[in-house]
Structure 1
Amino acid sequence: MEITLSLEKTSSTNLSIVVDVFRASTSITIALNKFKQIIPTFTPEEAKEIAKQKNGVLAGERMGKTIEGFDVGNSPVDISNLNTEKETLVLTTSNGTRILKDMKSTVLIGSFINAKSVAKTSLKIAKKNSYEHIDIVMAGWKGNFAIEDFLASGEILHWIWKELSKENNKNVENGFKYENNNDFKISEYGQAAILASRNYENLKKVIANTRSSKRLKELGYEKDIEFSLQKNIIENVVIYENGSLKLLK
């Protein structure tokens, strides 16, 4: 099995894990505690139309700001605090929902908050379907690298590597003893992400000073940053199928 790391566009026709830490993948993962489905859309106009049809909650942002007239922005904290009995969330974002549009692979949603669960589930799906390739896809920002997505991808890749190593009887408990073998190969880009993600306290300090964090702080979303950087607080695994995001059960 080959495991790779990409920016914006997946290189896999098998299985892809989309990572947009600030904030789409975090919002989507936590929102399915409250909603039965999330419909990602690619324009505010499309979101409004679908929300009317589905009697859904309208959520979205552009440039980090809540879109005027929407019920809520792309905030995992605000979405968690919504008081609603509606079953559908219609979501449009600058990055995360946009890159779902042209994917041809099985697509899962990954973040810090569900890294372990999405890693383990990806391997189960790969085995069940005889997939030979898993690709972690960083959303980035306007086509550019975003370090928070790189580090969250490293967290997911760490758990993928750990599970594969256990299966191949490798010692994974006494420090980082990564090695490729005939059964799996993690790209060098992916290996770099794993290594970079291992010091959690340093990771949080670095991300606190990124462009994305500064932008969110200026908009008053500092709590979203803190929420999004929590590791493995939820077991939700989200799959994108037939234009809808739902919990994989």
Structure 2
Amino acid sequence: MRLSTSFLPSTNPIDETTDIAVVIDILRATTVMTVAIANGAKEITTTCDVQTAREMADAITPRPLLCGERSCVPIEGFDCGNSPAEYSPPRVAGRHLVVTTTNGTKAIGAASLAKQVLLGSFLNRRAVAASLDPNASVALVCAGTDGFVTLEDVLFAGAIVSHFQSQFDQHQLPTLELNDESQIASEMWRSWFGPAMGEPSRTHAAALAARLSQSRGGKNLVRAGYEADLLRCAEMDSVAVVPRRIAIRAGASIFGR
């Protein structure tokens, strides 16, 4: 396996040689989209631009839910913001969603040339790891926050890298090639949580949420009044679904199960 981590989408550009890109925006885009798909959303179309999102929603029948944020807060006139709490089964089951966010949908766009694109969050950490082909070229693409590296995305990348390092050390993986950012991410994860956390618990979620609160993205959420989302985004391995790109249309990526 060749496992490359990008702390920002611009640091290691994705091209057609990348088999799988895992886009990571823990706070909160990829967490929200994981929750939405797990709760029955039919499809999620992502785009970087607010006006494009509005135009897409107007062109689809029946009209989809228009979802997203700028600077952590819901966009005026949109149906949903960017909190996992908003994406309950009664709200999203069977629905098409159009989503635009400050950082996450840009990272999805940056990863668009990969053969496959998956969405990763702590909620589906094990499911993401299990879905990665050990013979593939895999890119972990951190969205960052407003153009800056952010701790929560690097932590998740480190959790994935650490998982495969453990497999390699136990001779369950024949080869493992890591770039420097992958090694840095893994060292951060292991220094805080060890090589593995075992079966996750409320204690683990609380410890992770406390770490997330120290990041640039976490501090932004607290200032915006969304501190409760830190724990929602830290519910490790609570979802078995991995949203994956199923189509690209007019520059937008469409995700489903």
TM-score by length of 1: 0.83
1:113 maps to what in 2?
A: 123
Does the C-alpha gap of structure 1 residues 147 and 82 become closer, same or farther in structure 2, counting only changes over 3 Å?
farther
Correspondence 1:31 to 2:36? yes
C-alpha displacement of 1:241: 3.1
C-alpha displacement of 1:192: 2.3
- Measured on the aligned residues, the alpha-carbon RMSD in Å equals 2.2
C-alpha displacement of 1:69: 0.6
Which of 130, 146, 159 does residue 155 from structure 1 map onto? 159
- Between the aligned partners of 2:94 and 2:59, the Cα distance in structure 1 is 13
2:100 maps to what in 1?
A: 92
Q: Secondary structure at the match of 1:101?
A: helix
- Between the aligned partners of 2:79 and 2:234, the Cα distance in structure 1 is 25
Maintained 8 Å contact 1:11/1:135:
no
- Between the aligned partners of 2:88 and 2:30, the Cα distance in structure 1 is 14
Moved more, 25-34 or 73-82: 73-82
Q: Secondary structure at the match of 1:160?
A: helix
1:197 maps to what in 2?
A: 189
Does the C-alpha gap of structure 1 residues 96 and 151 become closer, same or farther in structure 2, counting only changes over 3 Å?
same
Q: Secondary structure at the match of 1:183?
A: coil
Correspondence 1:246 to 2:256? yes
1:5 maps to what in 2?
A: 5
Give the letter for the 2:52 counterpart: E
Instruction: Write out per-residue CA displacement over residues 104-145 of structure 1, whole angstroms, 9 at most, x where no aligned residue.
Output: 10211111111111111022xx64xxx3x2111100012210
Which of 18, 36, 48 does residue 23 from structure 2 map onto? 18
Matches within 5 A, 1:169-184: 169=172, 183-184=175-176
Does the C-alpha gap of structure 1 residues 18 and 84 become closer, same or farther in structure 2, counting only changes over 3 Å?
closer
C-alpha displacement of 1:220: 1.7
C-alpha displacement of 1:85: 5.5
Correspondence 1:69 to 2:81? no
Which of 27, 47, 58 does residue 52 from structure 1 map onto? 58
1:176 maps to what in 2?
A: none
Correspondence 1:146 to 2:150? yes
1:174 maps to what in 2?
A: none
Gapped runs of 5+ residues in structure 1?
171-181
Gapped runs of 5+ residues in structure 2?
194-203, 248-252
Correspondence 1:104 to 2:132? no
Maintained 8 Å contact 2:209/2:233:
no
- Between the aligned partners of 1:149 and 1:186, the Cα distance in structure 2 is 17
1:178 maps to what in 2?
A: none
C-alpha displacement of 1:20: 0.4
- Between the aligned partners of 1:101 and 1:154, the Cα distance in structure 2 is 22
Instruction: Write out per-residue CA displacement over residues 56-108 of structure 1, whole angstroms, 9 at most, x where no aligned residue.
Output: 01101011110001111011111237535552011000011112224210211
Give the letter for the 1:114 counterpart: N
How many residues get paired? 229
TM-score by length of 2: 0.81
Maintained 8 Å contact 2:145/2:216:
no
- Between the aligned partners of 1:121 and 1:84, the Cα distance in structure 2 is 24
C-alpha displacement of 1:207: 2.3
Does the C-alpha gap of structure 1 residues 88 and 208 become closer, same or farther in structure 2, counting only changes over 3 Å?
same
1:223 maps to what in 2?
A: 228
Q: Secondary structure at the match of 2:152?
A: helix
